[in-house]
Chain A
Amino acid sequence: MTRRRLVVEEIARVEGEGALDLEIEAGQVTVARLRIFEPPRLFEALLRGRDLREAPDIAARICGICPVAYQLGAAQAMERALGLCIEPSVRALRRLLYCGEWIESHALHVVLLHAPDFLGYPDAMQMARDHRAAVDAGLALKRFGNDVLRTLGGREVHPVNVRVGGFHRWPRADELDPLAARAAGARAQAVELLRWAARFDFPAIERDYAFVAMRDAQRYPLNEGRIVSSGGLDIDLDDFDRHFVEHQVPHSTALHAALRGHGPYLVGPLARYALNFDRLPAEVQALAREAGLGPVCRNPFRSILVRLLEVVYACGEVERLVADLRRAPAPLAPALTLRAGVGQGCTEAPRGLCHHRYAIDATGAITSARIVPPTSQNQASIEADLRELASRHLDASDEDLSALCERAIRNHDPCISCSTHFLRLTVRGR
């Protein structure tokens, strides 16, 4: 019986180092692996002994593309450990900062990493020769997101302004206003890109994902909320460990995660959208319908459209949040009273739900840390995508099948740098 083996040693246009293994035997896909060989950086170990106030800046170094996700998750966890009450204006400014990161990260993925797959180019630079307007619009959007980060945080990558309890410096009106002034233009560019991408040829596949995302009391979720699933789960972020479990697999330096009683699940734009469609403003919902999407999207290739809808939404949020913040007085920085305890934090990183848990002692030193990033949660679902797609295209040439499988991975915008160095601090027998 013939055995067919495909290997892609270095998956291009993803963040970090991963490879792809596919084996087909007797007409069956026997192996479908996203093999992650990114060197582990062991954040959860090196955070021990550090002061809790250092956690946001250190955790940011997990990922250069979504550092704010790690800063906000760490800050929130420490604030909960200390019992600090965070003022609405601080939460609003954090949401604004996070919108900048969503716009920057999604624009990067949509135009530089994902779109070339649909149009048959090796990269966006080549694509720009024929689609210059779209690439320019994507880069301009990315710049807008980066400018939000730079204004509020001093720089685009690893901004410096988030701290436990709030911000080091509150932005001035003359810093905030230009962001609001540019938001409508950025939003219009995102709508144009959405209409451009909606015309792509999307492979037909519908996957039966178990979606997991946050749900905010009023708005589309970013930096706070409960954790919900398409299977009816609805829990406080402190109950994460009771429902999710992680385990090591030999082919990856990222630990896999599973939903107890179900198995693989998906976090990220498709999950957020499916579980929070009703939280999107009517005009964003209308744009979704115009782009051919219903309230739930199960085709991973169409995630490019969902990312663009989230960019449209985030641009609108920039305008709204600046207006709100202009009316709010700068908050007083709360005093930190140290005490021993455990704190958890959870936010929606651009790539999906990201959960932190820290224990601290009475001197403010971190005694244990555990961070569950989105990509390690998605690994099992990504591999299930690979398996299903490959099964449907067994007659394709090796080259075409490899290319299709690489696309299946890029659909989920895996951040491989983020995904390694994770999981449990205390080793449980398994």
Chain B
Amino acid sequence: MATPARPKLAVWKFASCDGCQLSLLDVEADLLALADRVEIAHFAEATARDGPGPYDLSLVEGSVATARDAARILEVRARSKRLVTIGACATAGGIQALRNFANAAEFVAAVYPEPRTLDVLAEVTPIRDHVPVDFELPGCPVDRGQLLEVIAAMLAGRPPAIASHSVCVDCKLRGNTCVLVARGAPCLGPVTHAGCGAICPAYDRGCYGCFGPMETADPAALAKAWRRQGLADRDLRRALHAYCAAVEPFRSAGGDRDA
């Protein structure tokens, strides 16, 4: 009896650090099991095999920063039944989106002696600005347990069980003392999407927002809490303009330009 065809998985890289695709390889013990259940049709970092598609599920890491990539994401979408963004770059622009608040040409000239040879768009944008996205998994990097859940859910055709509340909820569950209230540490937990498990407060520091905005984030309310602790508005704006600055409300609350 012929075995049923396994669903085809593809992994794509755009402007990024590789950390989210690495999270897929970091499932170590489950990696070979995953490879048995899905056909890894395209994953350049892991395999020289390159299947043509169509793909049942495409995981997209990275944001769009070049004209070449703006065209490439359209091709990836056209060849994918479902498309999921993995990580802060694909979902919210990533750290490289900070150039959106500066002069991109000047930025390039600051790094490269001959800027004209480079293909660089003025703005770095998340994937959803280019194509429809079936699910966005936040995080810099993504949590590998959540990544496996999203893959399983997408292949089963069900919504992923990914909570959309703030880091504060996870922080309480972990039993951390609130670093903002108890110590006046700058913390973005109240406006940041859960998923990491509240790592930073567990390491005696404030959350720095690398999972991006939670569903109903209210930076204005957080600004009041920061002021009560004697923290500067300028520092909050700068903190919001870091890893996920290309999406609202972090984009506006961080100001048009960095202070």
Tell me if chain B binds chain A.
yes
A332 at the interface (CB under 8 A from B): no
Report whether A421 and B243 are in contact in the complex, using a CB–CB cutoff of 8 Å: no
Q: Which of A91-99, A120-128, A339-347 lies at the binding interface?
A: A120-128
A27 at the interface (CB under 8 A from B): no
Contacts of B18 in A (CB 8 A): 15-16, 63-65, 415, 417
Contacts of A54 in B (CB 8 A): 238, 242
Report whether B28 and A123 are in contact in the complex, using a CB–CB cutoff of 8 Å: no
Complex CA–CA separation, A156 to B68 (angstroms): 31
Q: Which of B1-50 contact A (CB under 8 A)?
A: 13-23, 25-26, 28-29, 31-32, 35, 40, 44-50
Contacts of A51 in B (CB 8 A): 238
Complex CA–CA separation, A14 to B95 (angstroms): 22
B221 at the interface (CB under 8 A from A): no
Report whether B203 and A168 are in contact in the complex, using a CB–CB cutoff of 8 Å: yes
Report whether A157 and B205 are in contact in the complex, using a CB–CB cutoff of 8 Å: no
Report whether A428 and B113 are in contact in the complex, using a CB–CB cutoff of 8 Å: yes
Among residues of A, the one whose C-beta sits closest to the C-beta of B121 is A39
Report whether A61 and B140 are in contact in the complex, using a CB–CB cutoff of 8 Å: yes
A230 at the interface (CB under 8 A from B): no
Report whether A154 and B202 are in contact in the complex, using a CB–CB cutoff of 8 Å: yes
Contacts of A182 in B (CB 8 A): none
Partner of A40, one of B14, B120, B204, B242: B120
Nearest Cβ distance between residue B122 and chain A, in whole angstroms?
12
Report whether A168 and B16 are in contact in the complex, using a CB–CB cutoff of 8 Å: no
| Majority-rule SS of A interface residues | loop
Interface size class of A (residues with CB under 8 A): 35 or more
Report whether A140 and B96 are in contact in the complex, using a CB–CB cutoff of 8 Å: no
State whether A154 and B203 are in contact (beta carbons under 8 Å apart), knowing that A41-B95, A112-B46 are contacts in the complex: yes
State whether A42 and B199 are in contact (beta carbons under 8 Å apart), knowing that A123-B46, A123-B47 are contacts in the complex: no
Nearest Cβ distance between residue B61 and chain A, in whole angstroms?
9
Contacts of A62 in B (CB 8 A): 17
Contacts of A45 in B (CB 8 A): 99, 102, 106-108, 110-111
Among residues of A, the one whose C-beta sits closest to the C-beta of B200 is A160
State whether A42 and B99 are in contact (beta carbons under 8 Å apart), knowing that A139-B31, A168-B205 are contacts in the complex: yes
Report whether A64 and B29 are in contact in the complex, using a CB–CB cutoff of 8 Å: no
State whether A124 and B46 are in contact (beta carbons under 8 Å apart), knowing that A49-B258, A168-B205 are contacts in the complex: yes
Report whether B96 and A42 are in contact in the complex, using a CB–CB cutoff of 8 Å: yes
Report whether A42 and B242 are in contact in the complex, using a CB–CB cutoff of 8 Å: no
Q: Which of A77-85, A247-255, A290-298, A384-392 lies at the binding interface?
A: A247-255
Report whether B13 and A122 are in contact in the complex, using a CB–CB cutoff of 8 Å: no
Contacts of A248 in B (CB 8 A): 112-114, 117
Q: Across chains A and B, which 9 residue pairs bring their CB atoms closest together, nearest first? A: A64-B19, A123-B47, A12-B48, A154-B199, A125-B35, A45-B107, A41-B96, A39-B15, A157-B19
CB pairs A–B below 8 angstroms (5 shown): A12-B45, A61-B17, A65-B19, A161-B203, A417-B17
